[in-house]
Structure 1
Amino acid sequence: MQHTTTRDGVRIAYQVQGEGAPLVLLAGQANNHHWWDGVRDDFHSARSTLTVDYRGTGDSDKPDRPYSTEVFAKDVIAVLDDLGVDRADVYGTSMGGRVAQQLAAHHPHRVRALVLGCTSPGGPHGVERGNDVRGSLAQSRPGAARQALLELMYTPAWLANHPGPYRTLGDPGMPAHTRRRHLAASNQHDAWHLLPDISAPTLVLHGSDDRLNPAANAPLLADRIPGARLHMIPGARHAYFEEFRTEASPLVLDFLTAVPPQRA
């Protein structure tokens, strides 16, 4: 565990594992670096991995001020600067994919290759989850909303054989004010006008059965980002990267390996 301090005075925690060229892994909304615990070792045969506790999560500071995906991207830049990393590959899932869009668009010289997983361009062009999904996540009955989220993240077959612990359901140590700030940051994301400016080679991954972040967002991103590749994982829900890791992780590594060295 290491820390750096951003220009606006927020202390950000980050974690580095493995050896080799760095791969930045960005977690979903209201989650810390443990989001990646189930799969980050998949990349250590060829890469080191760098995770970040977003402001408001984990061991980072938790200021009660507006957050945005652009601010989160600047925090990642602060971490790269602290490590002396000029350019890295970036793999963001869910809200982490929104942060990754901001990184690649606003800091193109810092992103060698980009993977966007189970994410959305946001704004009026993004495909929103249905009211039935929203309702299931707003249930007040104890445990009901958590169970609904589990079923949006994973298939019934996977849940039947994996009783937990689950690391993709949110940082349990987050105070209420930062949960609200994260929700607002994700909801206010709109990168539609930025996507054509992304110059990094890009792979878009999505589960075909994702209803939390509807699968229809994947082709929108792939069509909007110049030269982007699209891969849908049949039968996968939102946490495709964990449940379908034997397919998803090799796809990511193969894509990153195929990016020409001269892009670095």
Structure 2
Amino acid sequence: MNIALAPDGAALAWTEQGRGEPLLLIAGQATAMDGWGPTAEALAEHFRVIRFDHRGIGRSSDGAADRYTTRSLAADAAAVLTAAGAESAHVYGHSMGGRIAQWLAIDHPQRVRALVLAATSGGKLAGAEPSRDAMEALVSGDADRLAPLFFDPVWAAAHPDAVRVFFNSRASAWAKSRHFRASREHDAWSRLASVQSPTLILHGAEDPLTPLENAVRMHGHIRRSTLVRVPGAGHGLHLDRPETIQWIRQFITARAAL
């Protein structure tokens, strides 16, 4: 395990595996780097995979309370890249991690080679917000209530360890509440047109936490973007849809050839 220092001095735990071009994984709200599980393992067969614990999560320290915004968390991600000796990397963000990745591409365009955004949004979007039941499940933090919103039940039954690790990140109530607020207050709609990186948007057609219209709208804002709608997928398609790994490889390879 390695440590990167955030701009305010917070200690950010990070690790790496595999060889090849660097690929930074940015986890979702209150989710530790271990939650990438089998996806990180599969991607490490083709890339140098770098992942980290957000401030307040897992093995990272809390840091300053005013640094819990998606834009500040993007500065944390940039600090991890610096500590890893990666001037630039492909960046894959899931859910709140996708919100953070947007700011990384906006504020540090030279550091993002290709951008992958999964199950995420540019901010609040009227008519395309989670249902009341989905929000109540999210706020509860109850894994039994959340799992059906994220994962195909057949996949979840076959991968109980991955599901358990994903939903059991070590974090205080203080940190979880700040992550929740950071994600809910994210608003990058007016800046997405400035994203220069070729962008792959992956989104489940049945995502109850971030309805598909969010991805459609992002696709309209990000000029060099490709949108892939995944039929039947929910919010956790970065884990339960292994075919997305091949799509990411193909996207990055195609863009590298340009």
Matches within 5 A, 1:157-236: 157-166=154-163, 167-171=165-169, 173-236=170-233
Matches within 5 A, 1:47-86: 47-63=47-63, 65-66=65-66, 67-86=68-87
- CA apart distance, 1:83: 2.3
Q: Structure 1 CA distance, aligned partners of 2:147 and 2:233?
A: 13
TM-score after normalising by structure 1: 0.91
TM-score after normalising by structure 2: 0.93
CA contact (8 A) 2:203 2:215 kept: yes
CA shift in 2, pair 1:203/1:126, >3 Å: farther
Residue matched to 1:40:
40
Cα-to-partner distance string for 1:111-161 (whole Å, 9 max, x where unaligned):
01100000011134682101122234456xxx9x32220110112333344
Residue matched to 1:250:
246
Q: Give the letter for the 1:47 counterpart.
A: F
Q: Give the letter for the 1:117 counterpart.
A: A
Matches within 5 A, 1:86-165: 86-124=87-125, 127-138=128-139, 145-165=142-162
Deviating beyond 6 angstroms after TM superposition, the runs of 4 or more aligned structure 1 residues are none
- CA apart distance, 1:165: 4.8
Gaps of 5+ in 1: none
CA shift in 2, pair 1:45/1:221, >3 Å: same
Q: Structure 2 CA distance, aligned partners of 1:183 and 1:27?
A: 13
CA shift in 2, pair 1:162/1:199, >3 Å: same
Q: Helix, strand or coil: the match of 1:29?
A: coil
Task: State which drifts further: 100-109 or 40-49.
Answer: 40-49
User: Alignment RMSD, CA only?
Assistant: 1.8
Task: State which drifts further: 205-214 or 156-165.
Answer: 156-165
CA shift in 2, pair 1:150/1:34, >3 Å: same
Q: Helix, strand or coil: the match of 1:115?
A: strand
Gaps of 5+ in 2: none
Q: Helix, strand or coil: the match of 1:55?
A: coil
Q: Structure 2 CA distance, aligned partners of 1:126 and 1:205?
A: 20
CA contact (8 A) 1:63 1:178 kept: no
Higher relative helix content: 2
Task: State which drifts further: 157-166 or 51-60.
Answer: 157-166
Q: Structure 2 CA distance, aligned partners of 1:112 and 1:9?
A: 27
CA shift in 2, pair 1:49/1:133, >3 Å: same
User: What percent of counterpart residues are identical?
Assistant: 38
When the two structures are aligned, how many residues end up with a matched partner? Answer: 256
